[in-house]
Amino acid sequence: MTTETAGPLISLDGIQKVFGAVQALSGVDLKIHAGECLGLVGHNGAGKSTLMNILAGTLEASDGNLAVAGDELGKGYSVQDAGRLGIRCVFQELSLCPNLSVAENTRIIHPVLKGFGWQKRAGALIMEQLDLVFPGHGISPNDIVGDLTISKRQMVEIARAFTVTDTNIRLVILDEPTSSLDARVADQLLDYVGRVTRQGISVVLISHLLGEILQVSNKISVMKDGRVVAFKDAADFDRVSLVEAMGSTVVAGAAPRRDQNATTSAGEERIHMRPAGQPDDQSIRAREGEVIGFAGLAGQGQTQALLSIFEGHGVLPSGAQASGCCFIAGDRQVDGVLPLWSIRKNIGVSSLKRLRSGVLIQNEREQELADAWKERIGIRAPDVEAPILSLSGGNQQKVLFARALGSAADIVLMDDPMRGVDVGTKNEVYAIIRQEASQGRTFLWYTTEMEELDYCDRVYVFRDGVVSETLSGGDITEENLLQASFKQVSGAA
């Protein structure tokens, strides 16, 4: 241990990761010393989780070097290697088997827990660690993980990452560890992190709660767009400077927002909806011809709000409901494309009512519709009879847009539809959205990307399932958004 204190424990050098057309990481350098707690912050999609997956060996870097304790680890660095080197990771989505007990889940990461009496030893091991990190946890080693509450599951997973059998742990990565812990338990964890770092174990803490990061970290690294944009001692940061570092210093491009005053007052109101549990009097409103943004950190209830509108909640006049709404899914592989169908059928499926005569679908009419939209939205395919899977991801997304816009729906709900779409396609689609809005359609647009909000007339920032802030017109700035996204829900603590 003592020999390692000279050099960094982990050193990442020019790490790159490419997913298809998306550059998730573009050259990350990072050094972690033994006994250090590194806070890692950044907005959604900044690449934090990808970077940690590479460090944990579950993803392979496309390029760059990774060294642990001075040993260069080349290609083929795997989970097994990470385990051997004492690197553990608590992933954002839990890695426990819900059908197994707490003790059995502990066994999974410890190959040495086998042979006679392993259950007892595994149970004792995890209990000891749970008592150490979360005194008064109320978990028994024979509890089936699936029967535990989400916060207890998270406690088990965190404690499990700190258990030691044959190899000493050197680095523990905690990716959003406190997301489902209440304040008291979260404090226990942060307290424990402080204790283990004093024993020489390094911790990487990823969190959206800046208070936590500032409280326990020695060093803070801020990521943005797959890069580390700031890397300093924690003492050199405060809340405001952290938020500033996460945002872009230069406003990229002129705001393409339409002049709001002309349209907003004119159209009739189409949606008036309050999210369940909204504590104040803010509510989601949308008029004819408006583009409304849903912002905030990922998974704060934006998709649920869209779905509830899709089911007819808050749609005016009441009772008009779902027939007037269409939905563009973000996860196109799961919720969007019909993979075995042609482009034509994929476009036509939302408009079948208009395309049929009697009980039969009129192929010519569907063809017309598909051809018209292929032309208008610029789907790059030889013809609309081609199978949809022959298209690139961006073009598949365009087909989904064509499906929604080609239908008669007045309200278009978009669930982060531009995930993994290249810039060129994005700009084309933005133009069409604006054009359609000016013709009287209403768009509700959940997006995790800042610049897309520049197209919105009004933005609702979500936090914990409710609207935490309503921004409109000139107030839609990156700084305001970040402040609202990271707003501490003080009442809950």
Nearer CB in complex with another protein: 119/480: 119
Q: Cβ distance 320 to 311 under 8 Å?
A: no
Q: Does the protein bind another protein through residue 100 (CB under 8 A)?
A: yes
432 binds another protein (CB under 8 A): no
The yes or no reply on residue 152 touching another protein (CB under 8 A) is: no
Of residues 119-138, those binding another protein (CB under 8 A) = 119
- Using DSSP bridges, classify how beta strands 356-357 and 291-296 pair: parallel, antiparallel or unpaired: unpaired
- Asked whether position 118 contacts another protein by CB under 8 A, the answer is yes
- Residue range at the interface with another protein (CB under 8 A); choices 115-123, 312-320, 351-359, 362-370: 115-123
Q: Is 104 in the site for another protein (CB under 8 A)?
A: yes
Nearer to another protein, 69 or 94 (CB): 94
Q: Which is nearer to another protein, 112 or 276 (CB)?
A: 112
Structure tokens at 79: 């989970």
* Smallest distance from another protein to CB 52, Å: 12
- For another protein, which residue of 18, 73, 132, 144 counts as binding (CB under 8 A)? 144
Provide the minimum distance between the beta carbon of 112 and another protein in the complex, in angstroms, as a whole number.
10
Question: Which CB sits closer to another protein, 157 or 452?
Answer: 157
Burial 62-101 (b: 16+ CB within 10 A, else e): eebebbbbeeeeeeebeeeebbebbbbbbbbebebeeeeb
CB of 122 to another protein, least distance (A): 8
Residue that has been written with the tokens 């979260």 in this structure: 186
CA–CA gap between residue 142 and residue 132 (Å, rounded): 18
**Residue 380 to residues 19, 136, 349, 384: CA-CA distances in angstroms?**
21, 60, 20, 10
Q: For the range 213-217, what are the long-range contacts, defined as Cβ-Cβ under 8 Å and sequence gap of 24 or more?
A: 213/39, 213/41, 213/242, 214/39, 214/238, 214/239, 214/242, 215/190, 216/37, 216/39, 216/190, 217/37, 217/38, 217/39
From 95, 248, 260, 321, residue interacting with another protein (rule: CB under 8 A): 95
Judged by CB under 8 A, the number of residues near another protein is 28
Closest to 55 in 3D by CA, of 18, 81, 34: 81
- Could you give the dihedral angle defined by the CA atoms of residues 12, 18, 22 and 28, in that order, rounded to the nearest 10 degrees? 10
Stretch in the footprint of another protein (CB under 8 A) among 87-95, 252-260, 361-369, 413-421: 87-95
Q: Shortest distance, CB of residue 86 to another protein, whole angstroms?
A: 13
Can residue 153 be called a binding residue for another protein (CB under 8 A)? no
Q: Are 129 and 163 in contact (CB under 8 A)?
A: yes
User: Can residue 89 be called a binding residue for another protein (CB under 8 A)?
Assistant: yes
Options 7, 98, 138, 256; binder of another protein; rule CB under 8 A: 98
Work out which of 74, 76, 115, 317 binds another protein, going by CB under 8 A. Answer: 115
58 belongs to the binding site for another protein (CB under 8 A): yes
Angle among Cα 205, 210, 212 to the nearest 5 degrees reads 55
Closest CA to 468 of 457, 483, 453: 483
- Bridge partner residues of 17 (DSSP): 25
Helices then strands, counting H and E runs in the chain, come out as 17, 20
Indicate which single residue of 79, 124, 240, 266 sits in contact with another protein (rule: CB under 8 A). Answer: 79
Residue 73 touches another protein, criterion: CB under 8 A? no
Q: Which of 114, 120, 198, 232 binds another protein (CB under 8 A)?
A: 114
Q: Which is nearer to another protein, 145 or 433 (CB)?
A: 145
Does the CA dihedral 448-450-454-458 come out positive or negative?
A: positive
Residue 141 near residue 102, CB atoms below 8 Å: yes
Q: Which residues bind another protein (CB under 8 A)?
A: 56, 58, 78-80, 83, 89, 91, 95-100, 104-105, 107-109, 111, 113-115, 118-119, 144, 146-147
